[in-house]
């Protein structure tokens, strides 16, 4: 063996072997094709930062398996049931993981915990939502999967201050770390508004207010629609630009609503930068208050004026920015308040400075260091 090969072999021996398990589709995005969110970004960057990583994506929606390999980063996507899932299971065990990171619902979490116990690995539960508030969550007689996983994890990662604080007092087997949602700083950047509108065939001169994301009732899109209707009644020529999965209970037939449906994530910077104002009209709910919506960080990085409710999703995760927003923020569920905040920001055009540590590369490096410490602490 040459000296170079010896150095490479020594380096490989020190690299943690990490198995990550997540969902192929979450928040209406395709993790694999869109390279979206923490489920993809964290393991991908961990591999670039020195770890050997296998990402197993559990696919609840399609029947087509897929795989990719890029250096020390391997991805397997397999339907939840069928032969492909058994092949993925075999491949996962063959990696002899030192750490299993489950990032998803409690079914993904239970699979990760079981594989960690079988392989003698550390189990890391990445909690990016309050899963027991979801309609599809089920407690079994005498067994609460979410509580079980939180208490049995060797390490817990939380995506938001609110989630971490809510569970801070419970007894758990291992430590917890705050691992925020990051931003691809090379993609979400300020762009010329007129150029973006031209590329997207949007009105050149009309004032556009943007909302991008899910449209369940607790997102407050109905409140935003009502607020804009109030302002239009006062003579303001406003239009709403909305992208996301349509909700049948949320009609958007008004001639001042521009609805573009689902948009590839890499096109979102164009839509964000097309807007005069961006809106986060969330209502109060456990899911929203304790969440960490990716869109807020993306808005901040694009340096467009915002209006938002005082949802914990914003105030807990971005306290300095919330303080600086002033009258551009209003109470959740307050239609008149949203209208007032829009008036304020149309006049003030107050732009918030993003936090310094929002890049995915920085977020991933901090998380990997926490995981490395956990591996080293194993007796």
- Other beta carbons within 10 angstroms of residue 51's beta carbon come to 23
One DSSP character per residue, 42-111 reads HHHHHHHTT-EEEEEEEESS----EEEEETTEEEEEEESSSHHHHHHHHHHHHT--SEEEEESSHHHHHH
Residue 5 pLDDT > 70: no
Instruction: State how far the Cα of 125 lies from the Cα of 123, in Å rounded to an integer.
Output: 7
The pLDDT, as a whole number, for residue 75 is 97
pLDDT band for 227, please (50, 70, 90 cuts). very high
- Going across the sheet that includes 238-243, the strands are 257-261, 238-243, 207-212, 277-280, 306-309, 329-330
CB-based contacts of 379, cutoff 8 Å, min separation 6? none
One DSSP character per residue, 329-360 reads EE-TT-HHHHHHHHHHHHHH---PPPPTT-BH
* Pairing verdict, β 73-79 and 66-70: antiparallel
Stated as kind and residue range, the H or E segment containing 127 is strand 122-127
With vertex at residue 326, the alpha carbon angle to CA 322 and CA 330, rounded to the nearest 5 degrees, is: 80
Instruction: State how far the Cα of 25 lies from the Cα of 118, in Å rounded to an integer.
Output: 26
pLDDT band for 28, please (50, 70, 90 cuts). confident
Q: SS3 for 309?
A: strand
Q: What is the dotted CATH code of the domain comprising 3-182+359-376?
A: 3.40.50.2000
Instruction: State how far the Cα of 372 lies from the Cα of 46, in Å rounded to an integer.
Output: 11
Looking at residues 199-208, what average pLDDT do you find? 96
The pLDDT, as a whole number, for residue 334 is 98
Q: If we measure between CA atoms, which residue out of 221, 210, 228, 239 comes closest to residue 340?
A: 228
The pLDDT, as a whole number, for residue 52 is 97
The pLDDT, as a whole number, for residue 6 is 39
Instruction: Give the CATH class of 193-348.
Output: alpha beta
The answer to whether 301 and 268 have CB atoms below 8 angstroms apart is no
Residue 23 pLDDT > 60: yes
Residue 10 pLDDT > 50: no
Handedness of CA 113, 119, 123, 126 (dihedral sign): negative
Structure tokens at 200: 């997207």
Looking at residues 261-284, what average pLDDT do you find? 96
Q: What would the pLDDT profile of 101-132 be if each residue is shown by its tens digit?
A: 999 889 999 999 999 999 999 999 999 988 88
Q: What percent of the chain has pLDDT over 90?
A: 80
Torsion of CA 279, 181, 163, 145, to 10 degrees: 120
Helical ranges in the chain per DSSP H: 3-14, 31-34, 37-48, 83-94, 106-119, 145-152, 161-166, 193-200, 221-233, 268-274, 286-289, 294-302, 312-315, 319-325, 335-348, 360-376
pLDDT band for 373, please (50, 70, 90 cuts). confident
Which sequence spans correspond to the domains of the chain?
3-182+359-376, 193-348
| More confident call, 299 vs 2 | 299
Q: Taking the model in full, what pTM does it have?
A: 0.89
Instruction: DSSP letter for 139, please.
Output: P
Instruction: State how far the Cα of 237 lies from the Cα of 222, in Å rounded to an integer.
Output: 19
Instruction: State how far the Cα of 35 lies from the Cα of 44, in Å rounded to an integer.
Output: 9
Instruction: State how far the Cα of 296 lies from the Cα of 24, in Å rounded to an integer.
Output: 23
The pLDDT, as a whole number, for residue 3 is 34
User: Do 193-348 and 3-182+359-376 have the same topology in CATH?
Assistant: yes
| More confident call, 36 vs 196 | 196
Structure tokens at 350: 């107050």
């Amino acid at each position: 063996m040459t000296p170079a090969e010896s150095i490479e072999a020594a380096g490989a021996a020190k690299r943690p072997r990490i198995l990550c398990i997540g969902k192929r589709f979450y928040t209406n995005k395709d993790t694999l094709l869109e390279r979206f969110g923490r489920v993809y970004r964290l393991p991908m960057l961990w591999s670039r930062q020195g770890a050997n990583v296998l990402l197993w994506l559990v696919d609840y929606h399609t029947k087509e398996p897929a795989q990719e390999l890029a250096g020390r980063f391997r991805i397997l996507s397999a339907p939840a049931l069928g032969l492909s899932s058994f092949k993925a299971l075999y491949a996962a065990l063959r990696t002899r993981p030192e750490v299993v990171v489950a990032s998803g619902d409690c079914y993904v979490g239970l699979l990760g915990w079981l594989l960690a116990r079988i392989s003698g690995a550390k189990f890391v539960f990445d909690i990016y939502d309050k899963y027991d508030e979801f309609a599809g969550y089920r407690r079994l007689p005498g067994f609460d999967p979410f509580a079980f996983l939180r208490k049995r994890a060797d390490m817990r990662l939380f995506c938001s201050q609110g989630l971490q604080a809510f569970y801070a007092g419970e007894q758990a087997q291992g430590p917890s770390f705050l691992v925020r949602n990051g931003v691809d700083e090379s993609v979400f950047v300020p762009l010329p508004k007129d150029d973006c509108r031209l590329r997207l065939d949007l009105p050149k001169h009309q004032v556009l207010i943007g909302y991008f994301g899910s449209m369940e009732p607790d997102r407050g899109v109905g409140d935003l629609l009502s607020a804009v209707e109030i302002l239009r009644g006062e003579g303001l020529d406003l239009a709403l630009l909305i992208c996301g999965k349509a909700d049948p209970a949320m009609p958007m037939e008004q001639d001042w609503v521009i609805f573009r449906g689902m948009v590839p994530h890499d096109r979102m910077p164009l839509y964000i930068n097309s807007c005069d104002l961006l809106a986060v009209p969330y209502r109060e709910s456990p899911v929203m208050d304790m969440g960490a919506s990716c869109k807020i960080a993306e808005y901040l990085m694009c340096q467009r004026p915002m209006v938002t409710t005082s949802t914990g999703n914003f105030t807990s995760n971005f306290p300095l920015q919330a303080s600086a927003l002033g009258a551009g923020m209003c109470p959740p569920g307050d239609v008149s308040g949203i209208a007032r905040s829009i008036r304020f920001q149309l006049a003030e055009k107050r732009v918030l400075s993003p936090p310094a540590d929002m890049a995915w590369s920085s977020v991933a490096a901090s998380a990997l260091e926490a995981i490395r410490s956990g591996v080293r602490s194993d007796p």
